[in-house]
Amino acid sequence: MPPEKSVFNMSKFKKTAVVGAGAWGSALSIILSKNVPEVSVWARESEVVDSVKSARENAMFLPGIKIPENVEFSNDPGRVLGGAELVVWVMPIQYLGSTAKLFAEHIRGGSIMVNAGKGIEIGTWRRPSAILRDTVAQASSCGSIMGPNIAFEVALGNYAEAVVALDSHLDSVEVSKTFSTPNFKVRPTDDVVGVEIGAALKNIVALAAGFCDGMGLGANTKAIVMARGFQEIYRAAAALGAWSDSFVKESAVLGDVLTTCMSRDSRNRRTGEELGRGLSAEEAKAKLNGRVCAGLETIQICRMFENMHHVKLPIMTALCDLSEGKLSRSECLERMLAS
């Protein structure tokens, strides 16, 4: 596949910042570099900064992919965030609030906040946009981007799509342009709730899909579990006010669920597979070598929907009980199929 041509000046932004230098944060910095003159990435690990400076490669999280020259990696949040008109947050949701609060002093007034992580804050049950709105008061708008996006494939330039939802329609349109390239198409939407709930709950459905793989149940059973899981996402999102047509019209929403459930690179699917083979939740997480399984991190959200909104999510709650050691594998499967 020929390399993508630069499409500078499509975006009004002169500088964007990416907070988080993992595989997805690095891949998004490459995407943004095609439309924005200056992209800065905050990395927690000094090894990542050194790797990019010396070899133009994030050897720790995205090996073998060249980082463009107009992308700078730094451990200094002031240097990364200073002057940025668009800030993209790429980190586990459980750390989003504390990091945003710590970094807020470096963010200019009127900047746009886009979350690229997936999940909901356990305990407070805040969606990512609410976390950013609470911690970065000077932001002009807040929201999230999601889609069927395996970081390495996007970084390679393979075709992918996503959807971005902000609490300002005009900002959603502008940000969608800023992320869009010939091989990465991003559509704007105003359904922030639907996008964020879909992004959070699809990880739990992927655990269920992986569980089916680990149990060796075959394609028929897995397909039923995935379909019912998508119905549970739909019901949960509707309870919080999501637009019902978003789950039909936006291919990126359904695509995200399918990719996470089927891809061998999906950490959620792989972790579910280990659960299906009989490993405990802690043993399954240890297999990730320090990387985060978002589905297990946020799986208790199903309790919130059942207790606060009276929405039944049998597949998700069965997986939650399994992860907490309350069910055997056979009991978990029986509950999922009885839904």
86 domain-assigned: yes
Domain boundary, last residue among 142, 162, 190: 190
High-pLDDT (> 70) share of the chain, %: 95
Q: Which residue has the tokens 């963010």?
A: 107
Structural domain for 213, as ranges: 194-337
Q: What is the pTM of this model?
A: 0.89
**Interval 91-111: pLDDT, tens:** 999 999 999 999 999 999 999
For the chain, the farthest-separated pair of C-alpha atoms sits apart, in whole angstroms, at 56
pLDDT tens-digit series, residues 231-257: 999 899 999 888 766 666 677 788 888
149 plus 25 within the same structural domain: yes
Classify residue 124: in a domain, yes or no.
Answer: yes
pLDDT recorded at residue 248: 62
| Residue 185 sits in the same domain as residue 219 | no
- Is position 200 within any domain? yes
- In order of 101, 136, 137, 139, the CA distances from 105 in angstroms are 8, 9, 10, 12
Same domain, 171 and 198: no
Q: Is residue 264 part of a domain?
A: yes
- Residue 242's pLDDT is what? 87
- Say which amino acid occupies 49: V
Domain assignment of residue 10, yes or no: no
- Can 202 be counted among the known catalytic residues? yes
pLDDT value, residue 10:
58
- pLDDT, residue 244, reads 66
> How many residues comprise the chain?
339
pLDDT score, position 186: 96
CATH number where 222 lies: 1.10.1040.10
Q: Is residue 3 part of a domain?
A: no
Task: Tell me, yes or no, whether 126 and 178 share the same domain.
Answer: yes
Name residues whose C-beta falls within 8 Å of residue 88's C-beta, 6 or more positions apart in sequence. 16, 17, 18, 19, 25, 28, 32, 114, 115, 116, 145
Q: Which of 251, 39, 38 is nearest to 148 (CA)?
A: 251
What is the model's pLDDT at position 8? Answer: 42
Q: CB count, 10 Å around CB of 309?
A: 13
Report d(CA 124, CA 304) in Å as an integer: 10
Domain of 100, CATH number, reads: 3.40.50.720
d(CA 109, CA 303): 37
Q: What pLDDT is attached to residue 3? A: 40
The verdict on 227 and 178 lying in the same domain is no
Specify the pLDDT at position 60.
96
Q: For residue 124, what are the contacts with CB-CB under 8 A and spacing of at least 6?
A: none
| Annotated catalytic residue within 34, 202, 222, 285 | 202
Q: Is 209 in the same domain as 180? A: no
How many distinct structural domains can be found in the chain? 2
**What integer pLDDT is reported at residue 253 of this predicted model?**
80
Q: Which of 190, 214, 237 is the last residue of a domain?
A: 190
Residue 91 sits in the same domain as residue 239: no
Q: Same domain for 205 and 298?
A: yes
Its sign, for the CA torsion 136, 141, 147, 153, is negative
At 252 the pLDDT is 78
Residues of the chain with confidence (pLDDT) below 70: 1-10, 244-249, 339
Q: What does the pLDDT look like over 205-234, one tens digit per residue?
A: 999 999 999 999 999 999 999 999 999 998
Count of beta carbons in the 10 Å neighbourhood of residue 306: 17
